[in-house]
Amino acid sequence: KKGKLPPGPPKLPILGNLHQLGPFPHRSTWQLSKKHGPIMLLQLGSTPPLVVSSAEAAKEVLKIHDLECCSRPPLTGPKRLTYNFQDVAFAPYGHYWKEMRKICVAELFSMKKEVDFLIESVSGSATLANPVDLSKCSFSLTASIIFRIVFGKQFQGSELDNDKLQKVVFEAEAMLGSFCASDFLPLESSFHELDSVFQRVIKDHLDSGPTKDDEEDIVDDIFVAGIDTAAISMIWEMAGLARKPTAMRKAQNEIRSCVGKKGKLTENDVSKLTYLNMVIKETLRLHPPGVLLLPRETMSQIKIGDYDINPRTRIAVNVWAIGRDPDIWDNPEEFIPERFIDNAIDLKGQHFELLPFGGGRRICPGINMGMTVLELALANLLYFFDWKLPIGMREIDIDMEEKVGLTVVLVEYLVPTLSATISTGTSRSFQSSLNIGMKLHHVICDLICFTESLNYVNSPISRAYMCNGTTSNPYCPRINR
């Protein structure tokens, strides 16, 4: 270790700064950075992670020193789940990653058919005035898109079209994304479950013989990377709009006046929807699914700001904190899509104030596809349906609590139910999603798991992310107690 290292909070022997991270590392490192600065070195196990929390420092990592910072650290969790880094997202920088990434970018194309399917399924419920599980719909939409691209086949009606898949993806993400704990926690069950999903897909693929030219497929980790990120953003968007009915109305007016009565939205229409685009940007500013991006690792000695950064330092860019920096954003905690009027900031990794897709060589290759899914899905949901809260519920009652894995989701993500009716219909309702008891259950489970993960190697923390709050879940830490 040489040179002038970045400052960091005082550490305990062995634990380092682990005890200061808490269940929401993006929040705790944000608080710590207010005291120790936007370039801050922590101590966790043998790898000291550098946490970067300002747009300026992010630019140094993602642009000025992109080449030196674009590898990934060899973490135990991702290593196991990706068969020794044979994926794109966690592969170290090098020839293999470059080849995989080329294939990945070339394969990500349009997804209109799947959005039609989403609208059809919401319509079915709306006509009958049945509640819509929007979380399930979003997951199913993004799963269909990724399925067709990755496996070259239709998701709906496939063997994997069931609730279990969502749980497996969710659990794998918790494992891949935990800031530090995946190096200490048991991985095997998560590995085996994900593995058996892939095994079934591969078997099915082999059984069905060679694919047609237009159904070529790639089987890799875009399966996990692509499904949940976009689904989560859709939920945050709908929650943000439900909390701010003026913004919801404005977005709907824009869409309806642009599309008129033609009853169909195309990608071309969506490109004209400037307010909708601002709603998406604002949502991704406040709730980027990958709050700390994916971890990077330096390949050589560099300087960031005034500080010397050693080779093999792990870097987390806290884009969640940057999105709340009061030096950049007025009233940062408020959902104000209008802040993007006459504002050139886009999401393509060149404006370091807003980095939900990351930046530099490792920028999300699914950015165009992710944005198109979000725009098309949201535009369709707002064009065809009206949404409102049930009687007695106020906007501020919508809980925006988070849950952390690889991506940060609303706690309610697992069980939300929304209701809608077609916009020409009469009654509407937007139902509350989770009862208080269940919410408390989740919070308590998280706390228990977090404490236990420090004490017991066999803590069921990954399972806790799947906990559905019922006694039928054998892994529920409360029940196990």
The one among 225, 378, 410, 467 contacting ligand HEM by CB under 6 A: 225
* Bridge partners, 44 (sequence order): 47
Q: In the structure encoding, which two tokens stand for residue 290, read together?
A: 């990958």
- Report, in angstroms and rounded to the nearest whole number, the Rg of the chain calculated over CA atoms: 22
- Applying CB under 6 A, which part among 75-83, 128-136, 237-245, 290-298 lies near ligand HEM? 290-298
By the rule CB under 6 A, 239 interacts with ligand HEM: no
Of 343-362, binders to ligand HEM (CB under 6 A) are 356-359, 362
* Bridge partners, 78 (sequence order): none
Residues of each annotated binding site: 364
The one among 289, 323, 337, 477 contacting ligand HEM by CB under 6 A: 289
Q: Is 3 exposed, middle or buried (0-12, 13-18, 19+ CB in 10 A)?
A: exposed
The one among 82, 229, 252, 277 contacting ligand HEM by CB under 6 A: 229
Helices (H) and strands (E) in the chain, counts: 17, 12
Of 442-471, binders to ligand HEM (CB under 6 A) are none
Contacts 24+ apart (CB under 8 A), 23-27: 23/404, 23/446, 23/447, 23/450, 24/402, 24/404, 25/179, 25/180, 25/292, 25/316, 25/404, 26/291, 26/292, 26/318, 26/320, 26/321, 26/404, 26/408, 27/320
How would DSSP label each residue in 247-266?
A: HHHHHHHHHHHHHTTS----
By the rule CB under 6 A, 71 interacts with ligand HEM: no
Size of the chain in residues: 481
By the rule CB under 6 A, 370 interacts with ligand HEM: yes
- Applying CB under 6 A, which part among 51-59, 114-122, 210-218, 288-296 lies near ligand HEM? 288-296
**Nearer Cβ to ligand HEM (325/447):** 325
- Applying CB under 6 A, which part among 27-35, 206-214, 244-252, 363-371 lies near ligand HEM? 363-371
Of 111-170, binders to ligand HEM (CB under 6 A) are 146
Please list, in sequence order, all residues whose beta carbon lies within 8 angstroms of the beta carbon of residue 257, skipping any fewer than 6 positions away: none
Could you give the CA distance from residue 462 to residue 131 in angstroms, rounded to a whole number?
30
Here's the x/- map for ligand HEM, 92-111, by CB under 6 A: it reads as ---------x--x---x---
By the rule CB under 6 A, 293 interacts with ligand HEM: yes
Chain residues that interact with ligand HEM, rule: CB under 6 A? 88-89, 101, 104, 108, 146, 222, 225-226, 229-230, 233, 289-290, 293-294, 356-359, 362-366, 369-370, 374
